[in-house]
Amino acid sequence: MKNQRLKNVFVIVIIVTTLFLLSKVLNYYNQKSIYHSLDNVFLEMNYAEVDSGSLEGLPDLSTVLESSQSFREPDRITELPVLVNDPDGGEVSIFVGLEQAFSIEYSKKLGNDTYLYIDYEYRDKKLLGSIEISNSNSSLVWAKSDYWIDKKRGEAVNLQEYLESAYWFSSSKGLPTLQLTEKEELLNYLKPYGIDATWLREKSSYILNDVVLKTWFEKGSQRYSFDNLGNVKIVRSSIMSQ
């Protein structure tokens, strides 16, 4: 009787162990399949952070960029500050989130509580580059981040309500009263600060290529490079591309 009980326990242990190992194998191949379905580098970076540790050999984006923050469920959007020695006193952050939300932001305080933002926002196989001046310490791209998550999930959402909620959540306490995005108004506002179109183009290129992509290609990516960004089109605002 005792031997039979031991035999039964042994069989149960074998079954449980086998099922556990099988689930690990199935999960690995499932994650590998998901990873190989990601058809550009920006989806790869999002996956590396949001699905942290899911694929062996693919490091977290926050680790690669030496950020002091990391994405953890149930966060919708997480800001990953990137340590950069910017001679112009600006700061760089990556925003990652659910539903493949991903953006890159350079922010620089101009004075009088106004800020310059240079943003790259990933959406539907496009990386959209934009520039904004605002008297809010939160950019328009950041304020819309949760809106795009719900939009992608097919929810009926109101952009104005989202913006009001986001800006009140930030320490700026309300919708910005100054928000410039057009080329000429941006350049006219920045002229007293010694910032022109050339400065903006060089800074935006430096943020995307040197701070983010170069670092990721050297330390993180398993599939992409400068010669192969994948199925994505980079669309810059006129002030960034002329």
pLDDT digits (tens, 9 = 90+) for 55-65: 888 999 999 99
What distance in Å separates the CA atoms of residue 90 and residue 116, rounded to the nearest whole number? 9
pLDDT band at 234 (very low <50, low <70, confident <90, very high): very high
Peptide bond into 87 cis (omega under 30): no
Global pTM?
A: 0.87
Looking at residue 181, its pLDDT comes to: 96
Sign of CA dihedral 48, 70, 212, 163: positive
Boundaries of every domain in the chain:
1-37, 40-241
User: What b/e sequence results for 133-152 when a residue is b if at least 16 CB atoms lie within 10 Å of its CB, and e otherwise?
Assistant: bbebbbbbbbbbbbbbbbbe
Residue identified by tokens 């310059």 is 116
Please tell me the predicted confidence (pLDDT) of residue 54.
87
How far apart CA 135 and CA 160 sit, in angstroms, is 18
CB within 8 A of 32, min separation 6: which ones?
Answer: 55
The more confidently predicted of residues 57 and 23 is 57
Name the one residue in this structure whose structure tokens are 């022109």.
196
Q: What are phi and psi of 146, to 5 degrees?
A: -70, -30
Q: Give mean pLDDT, residues 50-78.
A: 93
Choose from 25-29, 70-74, 102-106 the range with maximum mean pLDDT.
Answer: 102-106
Q: What mean pLDDT, rounded, does the chain reach?
A: 90
